[in-house]
Structure 1
Amino acid sequence: MSGEIEAAGDALTGGVIAGAVERESRDGAHGKSAQGHGACANCGAALTGTFCAQCGQAAHLHRSLGSLGHDILHGVFHFEGKIWRTLPELVFRPGRLTRRYIDGQRASFVSPMALFLFCVFLTFAVFSYTGGALLNTGSNSTGDMKSGLQKEVKVADERLKTIDRLQRSPATSKDTQAKLTKERAELTDEKRRLELLLAGDMNGLIQTKSSGEVLKADNFQVELGNEQLNTAVKNGLLKASSNPSLLIYKLKSNGYKYSWALIPLSIPFLWLLFFWRRDIHLYDHAIFATYSISFMLLLIVATTLVIVLGVPSGTATFALIVLPPIHMYKQLRGTYALSRTGAAVRLFFLLNFTFIVLAIFAVLLVLLGLTG
């Protein structure tokens, strides 16, 4: 129940923040307009209409709980209709949406950053609620692995029983006894590791070492060109080995907080695709990247939810493989006015650049998790 409340809270927070970024806090607690008189409560300028001509604040200031609720819902759902104009364009005509926003049609659509923020909050809210269903799509493989581990434990048990019988036998020589003792110790350790893996006890699995060696920071070989960074990463690896769940938590938390970094990481690679064109600016690439990442997050949310609803994981995986390139192709064509061949060639490079950006982002998250 707490996970559901937390997920709902994340989505609600995302909507409110997105609404704040949009800067659309219109007045009228219930959508009513009011002619202003006197001075603006914010900047003191004389009011001549519904909104202040100087700072844009509404003339009428509501102070009711009902209007506060309306503001929250407005922030989440954009009752004015912007979100419902933006989402269909983002899904089916991403290139046209990006081009229209770049060209100045901004009042009709949710801004890229506001949409991105809401998508980030929504993604992590859904993951919190579903427990990362998308990451557990290989349920059959997991079941097969568990069955295999159980069989290995059974085989180890049978071999240990055989060793017991041989060691109790008077006919067994001293050399054979020594070999059996060594094999028994190794097999006992292996069985223990299999049982920990079967139980999902990663802490115990990492701490269990057949040699009995105590894990120290110096056991990790790290060379990043900076002694302080090497030491920080080594200590982080030591902490992660003793408490892997903490590292996983840090990775999730940092992914949540620093997801915005995907945008600046993407811009240089998009620039490489069009560096000779004077009519394209870095701002255009930023809008392209922000809308594109927002779509990918929404796609992850959608596939996660359909898996929870019972759609085969194979179908969801297929969608995650096929739909992103199609979306990128359409967005490239529409945003940069490319021919089919030009868009296809750039799509090839963009897909490779995407893997590079994700790899850089993943490395940064790991470093933050280990040194934080």
Structure 2
Amino acid sequence: MDNTTRSELKYRGTQCLNCKIPLESSDRFCPNCGQLNSTKKISVFDIIEELMGSVFSYDSKLRKTLTALILRPGKITSEFIKGKRATYTNPFRFFFSITILYFLMISYNSDFSSIDEFWNNELLQDSLHIETTLQQIKDASTNKEDTALIDSLITKYSPKEKNDNLDLDPKAYFAELEQKPMFNTIYDKTVYFFNGIQAKKYRQYEDALSRLKIESTLENKTAFSIAKSSYKSYHHPGSFFENLVSKLPFVIFFYLPVFSIFIWLVYPKRKFYYIDHLIFSFHTQTLFILLLIITFLIKWFFNINLHWIALIVFLLYLYKSMRGFYKEKRFKTIVKFIYLNTIFLILALFSFSMILFVSALTY
């Protein structure tokens, strides 16, 4: 940033105002902390000038980063790890910013509340209508086989699960469950709590303990938390997915360091450190998010879906990046390309399953 007014020779001091080390009049910036060597009292004009300088400086970095990222696959990573860092934006911060922007665009353009309305006003109402109709047919039927069949259909189409155990002594029922394996116990307790919440017998954990006259244990609290989250997700699926989407940028940000370990393992003889593979991962995935943003905008403005084309373009880009950065022959690159993409898909599915489970548990 060129601060022409405050950096004039007449304003330069002999000591840094920030870290107090001695300075020469030829020093425009402090060699220790980088602060501008100026004793001029700051004005509103100076603040605006610094702000605009910072914006244009970032804009210049952004332009150079995008150009290198798109036109020189793999080479931007090579230049960055070799020390050319002032030219490009920080790969981690840039990726995080782009990812958050993309998911904000999705959230803004997606009407998740309409899912809740459709689910509650259409599907659950239809389910209730089907159950009522089947009950009427059952009442008019005299054939035991038909009655049994109708009972199974009522259970299938009922908007809430049936659990005859709700009518039993809760304390005795929970004591009986303690004899089962832990996961079976938690599942049965979760179903029990879910049906109690569904029947509006209680909404909070303390209310459930008081009404059921059971003790507070870690197992009971876990089962109740799962039941309550499941109830909210069941009746408000749109809000649940909105909550899930808001967490995805953070999941992806922490997922890539794990994936970079596998890249490190397939290039053991190369003169690269783990951080180099990590930077490579962030650079390539940033390009993928940029492609998704472009396809999103095309879909938004022109109603043309190009996601498959974006995926193909990214796979070609990834191959070129691996060739450009690791500089191995085509056959080796293709084999490692297939292997790493398989690992990426497995890890992505595992990560998504975990975040889906955690979101359902904590929603």
Provide the TM-score with structure 1 as the length reference. 0.65
Q: Is 1:342 matched with 2:332?
A: yes
Equivalent AA in structure 2 for residue 50 of structure 1: R
Post-superposition Cα deviations, 1:92-137, rounded to whole Å, max 9, x if no partner, equal: 322111111122222221121231232133223222322289xx9x
Structure having the higher Rg:
2
Provide the secondary structure at the position in 1 that maps to 2:29.
Answer: coil
Q: Is 1:354 matched with 2:335?
A: no
Distance across 2 between alignment mates of 1:253 and 1:162: 45
Distance across 1 between alignment mates of 2:52 and 2:348: 34
- When residues 50 and 73 of structure 1 are mapped into structure 2, their CA distance, relative to the original with a 3 A threshold, is same
Q: Is 1:271 matched with 2:264?
A: yes
Provide the secondary structure at the position in 1 that maps to 2:302.
Answer: coil
- When residues 186 and 233 of structure 1 are mapped into structure 2, their CA distance, relative to the original with a 3 A threshold, is same
Provide the secondary structure at the position in 1 that maps to 2:293.
Answer: helix
- When residues 256 and 73 of structure 1 are mapped into structure 2, their CA distance, relative to the original with a 3 A threshold, is farther
- When residues 261 and 67 of structure 1 are mapped into structure 2, their CA distance, relative to the original with a 3 A threshold, is farther
- When residues 359 and 31 of structure 1 are mapped into structure 2, their CA distance, relative to the original with a 3 A threshold, is farther
Post-superposition Cα deviations, 1:19-67, rounded to whole Å, max 9, x if no partner, equal: xxxxxxx463x99854451232211223443211221012358855666
1:156/1:187 contact within 8 Å kept: no
Provide the secondary structure at the position in 2 that maps to 1:239.
Answer: helix
For structure 1, which runs of at least 5 residues remain unmatched after alignment? 1-25, 137-142, 194-207, 223-227
Listed as ranges, the matches of 1:225-240 within 5 Å are 234-240=223-229
Distance across 1 between alignment mates of 2:254 and 2:241: 19
Post-superposition Cα deviations, 1:137-164, rounded to whole Å, max 9, x if no partner, equal: xxxxxx9x9xx979x97x9599759938
Distance across 2 between alignment mates of 1:88 and 1:258: 27
1:298 offset after TM fit, Å?
A: 1.9
1:76 offset after TM fit, Å?
A: 6.3
Listed as ranges, the matches of 1:54-133 within 5 Å are 54-60=32-38, 63=42, 78-79=57-58, 81-131=60-110
Equivalent AA in structure 1 for residue 300 of structure 2: V
For structure 2, which runs of at least 5 residues remain unmatched after alignment? 167-173, 175-182, 190-216
1:233/1:371 contact within 8 Å kept: no
1:84 offset after TM fit, Å?
A: 0.7
Q: Which residue in the other structure is 2:292 paired with?
A: 300
Provide the secondary structure at the position in 2 that maps to 1:338.
Answer: coil
- When residues 210 and 62 of structure 1 are mapped into structure 2, their CA distance, relative to the original with a 3 A threshold, is farther
Distance across 1 between alignment mates of 2:43 and 2:358: 44
Q: Which residue in the other structure is 1:220 paired with?
A: 187
1:267/1:289 contact within 8 Å kept: yes
Distance across 2 between alignment mates of 1:233 and 1:239: 10
Distance across 2 between alignment mates of 1:126 and 1:320: 17
Greater Cα shift, 347-356 or 43-52? 43-52
Q: Which residue in the other structure is 1:241 paired with?
A: 230
Q: Which of the pair has the greater relative contact order for Cα pairs under 8 Å at 6+ separation?
A: 1
Post-superposition Cα deviations, 1:181-204, rounded to whole Å, max 9, x if no partner, equal: 5555655565564xxxxxxxxxxx
Post-superposition Cα deviations, 1:235-279, rounded to whole Å, max 9, x if no partner, equal: 5432321111575455344433444212321221011111123x1
Q: Choose from 12, 26, 37 the match for 2:12.
A: 37
Q: CA RMSD in A?
A: 4.4
Distance across 2 between alignment mates of 1:59 and 1:264: 40
- When residues 76 and 190 of structure 1 are mapped into structure 2, their CA distance, relative to the original with a 3 A threshold, is farther
